A and B are shown apart, each in its own frame.
Chain A
């Protein structure tokens, strides 16, 4: 007999036990148990998390957070006062009331003005390189906060991406890949096709196949497949999956975030962070406004953003989560100060803005500034790696960390970016 006749209940550990012998797979289970024992007394510690609001397409930050009224590049929008010391766009009245929690970094200056390259660079802190794939924000954070998620006995993947804008785990491996879900909270195909006993027996059979194939030394993908299987089974049997169900929230709360894709995504992010997920990315696309920039922003993008982002920040603050949760708002680049012939703005990486706050970072301020027409940064410029280093510091991650890429190259965390000091004084 090969041990198929097992007691009821399919567990992740069970599947794992059948894979034992394929050493790469057995090891995490060992360290998992050991970590539990060693850190039992730290369990009360609060957990850190980060939420990245990803503005796919590259928002015209010159019209949103760094307005130039009166300048030829300024556009029609007017600035309004906020609860912080800085002004923002008149079409973000709700977010204006939360700006004391958030800082505007107005001196972002990068070099990647292509969507693909910009998305990669802003997510990883590195420019694309043909010989290496760098891990994105969520992968780095979930790797560095692994101890914390083990303490919380998190069964949901540590890096959840709502929508589609994210970047992969690179050399950190598939265990840190984003779990991509729709904002409606329905995770597809979660319902098991067989009862738990039978699934357990099937998994035993499957584990045998997986193990043989891995043992033949055919490469990393075979092992990655087994790891993902294990995680998937864990998900299918987890109560924690309720965190995805935004429709369990009271109507008033759902209304506050806005009944839009991004609104539901932000609400889901809060629920996931409460559950102990250390990194959630929420995607809001549609910022690639080569045409009709101003009407698109005013009628469409800014109202959706305003509701959802303001509700998220207020909610995190009310629940005491904001002290430990970093919030980042950014896209792959900004847009040209020059307004083109179609009342649009084109790609522009030289001088643009991001928002950052929470997790102990100073709110209500602006860091840096641009010139009168917005075409240049008028002080020390900041890069993707600087922003990443700043967020990691806020999360208590050591910036002395060095990863080793799969081919043995040392890779400094956040590409040796320098922390933005004003956010921590």
Chain B
């Protein structure tokens, strides 16, 4: 936990020994104050037009200027149904129910979009919002396979519990980053001293925390230093000494295993311990790294911008290196940029840079001013994640159709072009989104089981797609990538079998046996549930043919239509 301002005031006298430490403490006090301010603000549930308008206008202005410069005419606006479907997918990780779609469409046209965003980011959907973003952040921090293997030092549930709590409160992002980086405590829920955030660091501390160094920098600063572990970077300005100087911040951190029985790991406690350095002199705790010519060089904690830690001591009570690092990171200029780029890519399909977590002069962004100014807005308005989402979702580029016109056909990052965001780029649902969307589309009863049980079932199903490479960087791959294994699952898999079941009580059974609807209405129902649109007359005619072929068996015919709709590109692609 971050210390309160009062605790900080108590700590302050220690800082006077070193002026830089004092400066760092001041920074923390400022941050803590900022957090306090952020917590007092209404939790993004209400919409203040004056608060929102400037950042949305900022986005629209920069994106339009870019279109003009590249002689692009944007696509027309997406239909309201398409827009509604995409907002539900991007904010909550699932498609809208028919009732939700209808509520949205019944509202006055000028108000329906901001009102829907209010609802999705407000209290009504707090639980779902938190679940979706917990999943997204978990995958960023420990991947899809983190904590799923035996003897792992990572407790996936623990991380998710802490993330969920933070997201429910809309914890300011700088605070969240601080808590993740500086986290100490036990990784398993229910244990004394539990702090689920330690699970980010716990799995990355082997080999002198090389991976913790690389991942912390990559995820939170958008700076990729992993290659500089062994040599100066071939294409950017990062030098080998910078990697090891950053690494020095992690060297007090230890993951203490607690065993159940002889080999099973019960839990892991992350702690800071005094670091004696590689010369066994804690006052001057140094580490050495090897240059390519075989010579060794010394390194002490220095942040990426060249700020050295005032004390080289390895004693935690003299210099708590990881806490200092957390302070430096949340105050650094690329931190909000890295986040804005990540969230933008989530909603618009592509970031301002590719990859999204590699910022720097070697990889110039497509819209440099927009990235910088939006990051500044995000920072100035208290690192409010929901506010940032609101600005992006209500901006013009997010409202555009995915259909290209003759005048922006070339704007397709899939063809290797840099994105101009003059149309909405198609993208495949993530496996998690498909799973949740099928539950929604089939109106599955979700009250029968507990949250934990549901998450467990989902996790087991998701497990079939993800594979870890087993390398030190915990890299992994997925077969839910639009290739044959995914299509086979969609056509024949158990999840689809369930979704297209016609057993008594199932979704299709209920639609088919609803006496209030004729056949055309039933087909419309299926299209609305899956695609958020009405079927064309041709599509209704095709479905009627199927009904004839099934000998008038409406349930069987609906099953065929439903199978086809769920297997379509229009269903699986967020458009």
Of the candidates A130, A174, A191, the one whose C-beta lies within 8 Å of that of B483 is A174
Of the candidates A213, A219, A407, the one whose C-beta lies within 8 Å of that of B570 is A213
- Does B525 have its Cβ within 8 Å of any Cβ on chain A? no
Q: Please choose the segment from A59-67, A225-233, A242-250, A251-259 that sits at the chain B interface, where 4 or more of its residues have CB less than 8 A away.
A: A225-233
Provide the residues of chain A in CB contact with B542, threshold 8 Å. Answer: 2, 4, 204-205, 208
- Does A178 have its Cβ within 8 Å of any Cβ on chain B? yes
- Does B554 have its Cβ within 8 Å of any Cβ on chain A? no
Provide the residues of chain A in CB contact with B426, threshold 8 Å. Answer: 218-219, 221-222
- Does B415 have its Cβ within 8 Å of any Cβ on chain A? yes
Q: Give Cα A405–Cα B412 distance, bound, in whole angstroms.
A: 13
- Does B124 have its Cβ within 8 Å of any Cβ on chain A? no
| Number of residue pairs spanning A and B whose beta carbons lie under 8 angstroms apart | 200
Q: Give Cα A190–Cα B292 distance, bound, in whole angstroms.
A: 51
In the complex, what residue of chain A is closest to B497 when comparing beta carbons? A193
- Does B39 have its Cβ within 8 Å of any Cβ on chain A? no
Q: Give Cα A173–Cα B497 distance, bound, in whole angstroms.
A: 30
- Does B99 have its Cβ within 8 Å of any Cβ on chain A? no
The contact size tier of chain B is 35 or more
Whether B469 pairs with A209 at a CB distance below 8 angstroms is no
Of the candidates A236, A375, A406, the one whose C-beta lies within 8 Å of that of B414 is A406
Whether A2 pairs with B541 at a CB distance below 8 angstroms is yes
Provide the residues of chain B in CB contact with A111, threshold 8 Å. Answer: 234
Of the candidates A130, A165, A192, the one whose C-beta lies within 8 Å of that of B353 is A130
Q: Please choose the segment from A37-45, A284-292, A307-315, A382-390 that sits at the chain B interface, where 4 or more of its residues have CB less than 8 A away.
A: A284-292
Provide the residues of chain A in CB contact with B568, threshold 8 Å. Answer: 206, 209-210, 213
- Does B127 have its Cβ within 8 Å of any Cβ on chain A? no
User: Provided the pairs A57-B471, A130-B355 are in contact, do residues A202 and B416 lie with their beta carbons within 8 angstroms?
Assistant: no
Whether B404 pairs with A218 at a CB distance below 8 angstroms is yes
Expressed in whole angstroms, the minimum distance between the Cβ of A283 and any Cβ of chain B is: 9
Q: Give Cα A168–Cα B418 distance, bound, in whole angstroms.
A: 20
Whether B404 pairs with A115 at a CB distance below 8 angstroms is no
Expressed in whole angstroms, the minimum distance between the Cβ of B379 and any Cβ of chain A is: 26
- Does B237 have its Cβ within 8 Å of any Cβ on chain A? no
Q: Give Cα A165–Cα B563 distance, bound, in whole angstroms.
A: 33
Interface residues of B in 268-302 (CB under 8 A from A): 290, 292, 294
In the complex, what residue of chain B is closest to A221 when comparing beta carbons? B426
Whether B488 pairs with A56 at a CB distance below 8 angstroms is no
Most buried by B among A198, A212, A221: A221
Expressed in whole angstroms, the minimum distance between the Cβ of B188 and any Cβ of chain A is: 25
Expressed in whole angstroms, the minimum distance between the Cβ of B548 and any Cβ of chain A is: 8
User: Provided the pairs A179-B483, A188-B488 are in contact, do residues A285 and B470 lie with their beta carbons within 8 angstroms?
Assistant: yes
Provide the residues of chain B in CB contact with A79, threshold 8 Å. Answer: none
Of the candidates B483, B493, B500, the one whose C-beta lies within 8 Å of that of A228 is B483
Q: Please choose the segment from B134-142, B195-203, B258-266, B473-481 that sits at the chain A interface, where 4 or more of its residues have CB less than 8 A away.
A: B473-481
Whether B487 pairs with A208 at a CB distance below 8 angstroms is no
Whether B206 pairs with A290 at a CB distance below 8 angstroms is yes
Q: Give Cα A201–Cα B481 distance, bound, in whole angstroms.
A: 26
Bits for B559-570, please: 1 = Cβ < 8 Å to A, else 0: 011011101111
- Does A164 have its Cβ within 8 Å of any Cβ on chain B? yes
Interface residues of B in 424-445 (CB under 8 A from A): 425-428
In the complex, what residue of chain B is closest to A170 when comparing beta carbons? B416
Expressed in whole angstroms, the minimum distance between the Cβ of B536 and any Cβ of chain A is: 8
- Does B207 have its Cβ within 8 Å of any Cβ on chain A? yes
- Does A217 have its Cβ within 8 Å of any Cβ on chain B? yes
- Does A239 have its Cβ within 8 Å of any Cβ on chain B? no
User: Provided the pairs A210-B568, A219-B414 are in contact, do residues A116 and B484 lie with their beta carbons within 8 angstroms?
Assistant: no
Q: Give Cα A408–Cα B377 distance, bound, in whole angstroms.
A: 38
- Does B239 have its Cβ within 8 Å of any Cβ on chain A? no
User: Provided the pairs A130-B353, A225-B482 are in contact, do residues A205 and B469 lie with their beta carbons within 8 angstroms?
Assistant: no
Whether A188 pairs with B464 at a CB distance below 8 angstroms is yes
- Does B573 have its Cβ within 8 Å of any Cβ on chain A? yes
Provide the residues of chain B in CB contact with A220, threshold 8 Å. Answer: 412, 414-415
Whether A4 pairs with B545 at a CB distance below 8 angstroms is yes
User: Provided the pairs A5-B549, A165-B469, A202-B560 are in contact, do residues A132 and B484 lie with their beta carbons within 8 angstroms?
Assistant: no
Most buried by A among B409, B415, B561: B415
Expressed in whole angstroms, the minimum distance between the Cβ of A280 and any Cβ of chain B is: 15
Expressed in whole angstroms, the minimum distance between the Cβ of B326 and any Cβ of chain A is: 25
How many residues of chain A are within 8 Å of chain B by beta carbon? Answer: 79
Expressed in whole angstroms, the minimum distance between the Cβ of A77 and any Cβ of chain B is: 22
Whether A205 pairs with B402 at a CB distance below 8 angstroms is no
Provide the residues of chain A in CB contact with B355, threshold 8 Å. Answer: 130
Bits for B387-429, please: 1 = Cβ < 8 Å to A, else 0: 0000000000000001111000100101111100000011110
Whether A193 pairs with B569 at a CB distance below 8 angstroms is no
- Does B546 have its Cβ within 8 Å of any Cβ on chain A? yes
In the complex, what residue of chain B is closest to A347 when comparing beta carbons? B230
Of the candidates B206, B363, B414, B418, the one whose C-beta lies within 8 Å of that of A221 is B414
User: Provided the pairs A188-B485, A213-B569 are in contact, do residues A406 and B415 lie with their beta carbons within 8 angstroms?
Assistant: yes
- Does B226 have its Cβ within 8 Å of any Cβ on chain A? yes
Whether B492 pairs with A205 at a CB distance below 8 angstroms is no
Q: Give Cα A123–Cα B475 distance, bound, in whole angstroms.
A: 16
Whether A193 pairs with B469 at a CB distance below 8 angstroms is no
Provide the residues of chain B in CB contact with A168, threshold 8 Å. Answer: 481
Q: Give Cα A171–Cα B414 distance, bound, in whole angstroms.
A: 9
Provide the residues of chain B in CB contact with A57, threshold 8 Å. Answer: 469-471
Bits for A7-22, please: 1 = Cβ < 8 Å to B, else 0: 0000000000000000
Q: Give Cα A208–Cα B470 distance, bound, in whole angstroms.
A: 43
Expressed in whole angstroms, the minimum distance between the Cβ of B423 and any Cβ of chain A is: 8
Provide the residues of chain B in CB contact with A2, threshold 8 Å. Answer: 538, 541-542, 545
- Does A339 have its Cβ within 8 Å of any Cβ on chain B? no
Provide the residues of chain B in CB contact with A1, threshold 8 Å. Answer: 545
Q: Give Cα A118–Cα B180 distance, bound, in whole angstroms.
A: 30
Provide the residues of chain A in CB contact with B403, threshold 8 Å. Answer: 216-218
Whether B473 pairs with A209 at a CB distance below 8 angstroms is no
Q: Give Cα A133–Cα B403 distance, bound, in whole angstroms.
A: 24
Whether B472 pairs with A209 at a CB distance below 8 angstroms is no
User: Provided the pairs A4-B545, A219-B402, A221-B569 are in contact, do residues A205 and B414 lie with their beta carbons within 8 angstroms?
Assistant: no
- Does B358 have its Cβ within 8 Å of any Cβ on chain A? yes
Expressed in whole angstroms, the minimum distance between the Cβ of A289 and any Cβ of chain B is: 10
Provide the residues of chain B in CB contact with A216, threshold 8 Å. Answer: 403
Q: Give Cα A57–Cα B472 distance, bound, in whole angstroms.
A: 8
Expressed in whole angstroms, the minimum distance between the Cβ of B404 and any Cβ of chain A is: 5
Q: Give Cα A130–Cα B364 distance, bound, in whole angstroms.
A: 10
Provide the residues of chain A in CB contact with B538, threshold 8 Å. Answer: 2, 208
Whether B491 pairs with A189 at a CB distance below 8 angstroms is yes
Provide the residues of chain B in CB contact with A188, threshold 8 Å. Answer: 464, 485, 488-489, 493
Of the candidates A201, A217, A288, the one whose C-beta lies within 8 Å of that of B549 is A201
- Does A306 have its Cβ within 8 Å of any Cβ on chain B? no
Whether A190 pairs with B488 at a CB distance below 8 angstroms is yes
User: Provided the pairs A209-B565, A210-B569, A224-B482 are in contact, do residues A407 and B415 lie with their beta carbons within 8 angstroms?
Assistant: yes
Expressed in whole angstroms, the minimum distance between the Cβ of A133 and any Cβ of chain B is: 8
Q: Give Cα A255–Cα B342 distance, bound, in whole angstroms.
A: 50
Interface residues of B in 480-528 (CB under 8 A from A): 481-485, 487-489, 491-493, 496-497, 500
Interface residues of A in 252-272 (CB under 8 A from B): none
Whether B546 pairs with A205 at a CB distance below 8 angstroms is yes
Q: Give Cα A423–Cα B207 distance, bound, in whole angstroms.
A: 39
- Does A235 have its Cβ within 8 Å of any Cβ on chain B? yes
User: Provided the pairs A4-B545, A220-B412, A221-B428 are in contact, do residues A209 and B560 lie with their beta carbons within 8 angstroms?
Assistant: no
Whether B496 pairs with A193 at a CB distance below 8 angstroms is yes
Most buried by A among B363, B425, B477: B477
User: Provided the pairs A205-B543, A219-B402 are in contact, do residues A405 and B416 lie with their beta carbons within 8 angstroms?
Assistant: yes
User: Provided the pairs A180-B479, A209-B565, A209-B570 are in contact, do residues A130 and B545 lie with their beta carbons within 8 angstroms?
Assistant: no
Supply 14 A–B pairs (Cβ within 8 Å), ascending by A: A5-B545, A57-B471, A131-B354, A164-B467, A171-B416, A177-B481, A201-B546, A203-B564, A209-B568, A217-B405, A219-B426, A220-B412, A220-B414, A350-B292
Known A-B contacts: A2-B541, A193-B492, A218-B403. Give 6 more (CB < 8 A): A177-B483, A179-B485, A180-B479, A191-B492, A216-B403, A407-B417
The 5 closest A-B pairs by CB, nearest first: A407-B416, A225-B569, A164-B467, A406-B415, A205-B564
